[in-house]
Chains A and B, each alone.
Chain A
Amino acid sequence: MSQSGTDKTEEKTANALASHRRDKLRGSESRMNTDRWFRRICVMVAAVSVIILLFLLGSIIQQGVPSLSTTLLTGTPEPDPSQAGAWPAIAGTIWVCSICALVTLPVGIGTALLIEEFKPRSRWGSRIFSLIQLNISNLAGVPSVVYGILGLTAFVSMFSLFGVDKNGIQGFEVGAKYFDQFTNLASDPFLSMGMEGVEERYFLAPVADRADPPTIPKQGMTIFEYQNDQLNPVKISVVGPEDLPPTDPVELSLAIDANALPGRISEKAWYYFRLPFGRGVLSGALTLMLVILPVIIISSQEALRSVPSSLRDGARGLGATPWQVIWNITLPAAAPGIMTGSILAMSRAIGETAPILIIAGIVYIRNAPHHLMDSYTVLPLQIYNWTSRPQEEFHSIAAAGIVVLLGILLSFNAIAVILRHRMQNKIN
């Protein structure tokens, strides 16, 4: 009985298989069609994105290239379109992105190393680590304008931790010298009438503390004049309200009104530093760091995870300490992957506008930044500024600015890709 039962089952299976084979032969034609169509759809979808990109690039280049000039690259943003340049914005972009890269790469790669290479043993430790991991993954999706507001509180004003002193001055600083600036009587339009040949001169009185009250002009006070990039002491004469201004042109050019109110100016060294950071380059770079840090951490983690553990075992087996394993084996092997992630993240940082708009604001900047706390603007902001103007000429200058921005982006990327390629060649 059981024997015939198995026979029946066998027969059934054999029949099913045979009919399946027949179906397969019949169905192969339609299946190949599906295959072909699927491939065509894939090609079409891919083509759409490439075509859109090419179209965008083409229209930008067509609009922008005619306005591309050395004035644009080296000039300042003048109100006259024919003289408008983007040098302060270009320099600002390079400053902000370089500092951002310098700060973000160590922090990001360090965090990834901690999470991937120093996994905690204890249960609470691993809970904290997975919380950090969850946090990082979520931060990657936060809109960048939110980081702008965070940067405004954390870096620009530093939660107002550095209180305001009695003269209304906030925080503390190093690397700045303050002067009170006076103008001579010759600059007075009423006095200079009929006194041809008297030059306007500016005098600087050093101020010990930025909170000091304005200097009152006194006979024989220490005062300097800028000449040939140097502060030279000058002898001035202070003219009271009852006195008659000197008639000698040389003397007149050295005379100051006794009631003159000075203007306070400051000279900042390249190492100028202040707390809170204010709306300077450093605040912008740190805010961009917040934007791209999650991306860099996640891609570095991915790269570290792809390093086979057999390599780590090999190094450990030779008596390498955890630090030596990481520095000599894991990091070099993960470097190309880390570089790829960093390139993508930095490209994002270069084009980022929203957080910078909040940190730097729309300000009229005529100079490239000179120190970390200097005010600045970046190319995307400058482009935004130009596109929002009514004159048609500014729109083509904006297009040229986009070409410049793309140029900077592509050259940054090219350098990084070459570096990565070199590293990869070294390994394989």
Chain B
Amino acid sequence: MANQSTNAIEASNLNAWYGDFQALNSISLQIPKNEVTAFIGPSGCGKSTLLRWFNRMNDTIHSASATGDLRLGDIDLLSSATDVVDLRRRVGIVFQKANPFPKSIFENVAFGPRLHMKLNKTELQDLVEWALRKAAVWEEVKDRLNAPALGLSGGQQQRLCIARAIATGPEILLMDEPCSALDPASTLAIEDLMDELRSQYTIVIVTHNMQQASRCSDKTAFFFEGKVIEFNSTEKIFTTPNAKQTEDYVRGKFG
């Protein structure tokens, strides 16, 4: 029972398919609240699939299906009766490639709040400023909030997307390889940002970058061929992993 309050998301015996291809094979793991959890593993091992089940982004892929148990608090994430709109407000997602809307910077951040909340103009402006400050991009864009978001640099765009995601007030932030298209400086900025955000949000990050996982996560799950091989504290995974496969992977021997 104590577990329930400290875990944000709980999966047990979760299987997921794309058509006939089984992408996830009896996954059981608990994502702890207010911590950064990293998913690592070679390409095609199911990390992103699991992440996309956390806020049902797989709904648009017609062949995607899942069985087992996946819960966010008392919400059954696999049930077709789940209010997906409210779920996605509570579980924000940041994608691999920055995808700002072809609108102004302000409109990008205001998009989510406009969908879910009734705010007057000043409240909305305050919320946008708060989110942009949280995402550490405010100083760079405060003079050009009405400029098109597509004019920002790649790193700024990705931080804008993070601001956009936290503007709806989520509890959990899913990040699907958020830095894979960024230069080292922008990557560092986003890692610092995750460090800032970890006290208020549960963050799940999928990454191919071992250093990034070891630098900024509290817990790490190593995935291989649709299974969780090992899920432990990051320190343990990167220093004394239990499984041979994990050790080989984090040492760069395969994958």
With A318-B165, A319-B116 as contacts: A313 and B99 at CB distance below 8 Å: yes
Tell me which residues from 297 to 334 in chain A have a Cβ below 8 Å from any Cβ of chain B: 308, 310-321, 324, 328-329, 332-333
Tell me if B115 and A318 are in contact (CB < 8 A): yes
Residues of A within 8 Å of B89, CB to CB, are 318-319
Q: When each residue 151-188 of chain B gets 1 if its CB lies under 8 Å from chain A and 0 otherwise, what string results?
A: 00000000001001100100000000000000000000
Q: Is the CB of B85 within 8 A of A319?
A: yes
Q: How far is the CB of A316 from chain B (nearest CB, A)?
A: 7
A328 to B111, CA, bound (A): 9
- Given A316-B57, A317-B92, A319-B86, decide whether A311 and B101 contact each other with a Cβ distance below 8 A: yes
Among B92, B99, B112, contact of A308 (Cβ-Cβ < 8 Å): B99
Given the known inter-chain contacts A314-B161, A317-B57, A318-B165, please indicate yes or no for A333 contacting B102, CB distance below 8 A. yes
Nearest-CB distance from A178 to chain B (Å)?
55
List of B residues within 8 angstroms of A247 by Cβ? none
Chain B contacts for A317, CB-based, 8 A: 55, 57, 88, 92-93, 95, 165
For the residues of B in contact with A, the DSSP-based class is helix
How far, in whole Å, are A316 and B115 apart by their CA atoms in the complex? 11
Question: In the complex, what distance in Å separates the CA atom of A428 from the CA atom of B151?
Answer: 8
Q: Say yes or no for B60: interface residue by CB 8 A criterion.
A: yes
Instruction: Please tell me if A45 contacts chain B, counting CB pairs below 8 Å.
Output: no
CA distance A332 to B161 in the complex (A): 19
- A sample of 9 cross-chain residue pairs with beta-carbon separation below 8 angstroms, ordered by A number, consists of A310-B99, A313-B60, A314-B161, A318-B88, A319-B87, A329-B101, A332-B103, A427-B102, A427-B148
In Å, the complex CA distance between A333 and B99 comes to 13
- Which residues of chain A come closer than 8 Å to B92, judged between CB atoms? 317-318
Residues of A within 8 A of B (CB): 119, 121, 308, 310-321, 324, 328-329, 332-333, 427-428
How many A-B pairs with Cβ below 8 Å?
69
Residue in chain B with minimal CB distance to A428: B148
Closest B residue by C-beta to A312:
B60
CB neighbours (8 Å) of A318 from chain B are 88-89, 92, 111-112, 115, 164-165, 168
**A319-B88, A321-B85 known; A314+B101 contact, CB < 8 A:** yes
Say whether B97 faces chain A, with CB atoms less than 8 Å apart: yes
Within 8 A of A (CB), among B188-219: none
Residues from chain B with a CB closer than 8 A to the CB of A121 are 62
In the bound assembly, the distance between CA atoms of A317 and B88 in angstroms comes to: 6
Q: Which residue, A311, A317, A333, A427, has most C-beta atoms of chain B within 10 A?
A: A317
Is B150 close to A, CB under 8 A? yes
Complex-state Cα separation, A311 to B89, whole angstroms: 17
Whether B168 contacts A313 by the Cβ 8 Å rule is no
Question: Inside 8 A of A312's CB, which chain B residues have their CB?
Answer: 60
Contacts of B165 in A (CB 8 A): 317-318
Minimum CB–CB distance from A400 to chain B (whole Å) comes to 45
Question: What CA separation (Å) do A318 and B55 show in the bound complex?
Answer: 10
Contact of B115 among A311, A314, A324 (CB under 8 A): A324
Q: Bound state CA distance, A313 and B84, in angstroms?
A: 13
List, in ascending order, chain B residues with CB within 8 A of A316's CB: 57, 60, 88
Nearest CB on B from A56, distance (A):
39
3 closest residue pairs by CB, A with B: A319-B88, A427-B102, A310-B99
Give the shortest distance, in Å, between B116 (CB) and chain A (any CB).
Answer: 6
A427-B103 in contact given A318-B168, A319-B86 (Cβ < 8 Å) = yes
When C-beta atoms are compared, the residue in chain B nearest to A328 turns out to be: B111
In the complex formed, the residue of A with least CB distance to B89 is A319
**Chain B residues, CB < 8 A from A333:** 102
B136-155, CB under 8 A of A: which get 1 and which 0? 00000000000010100000
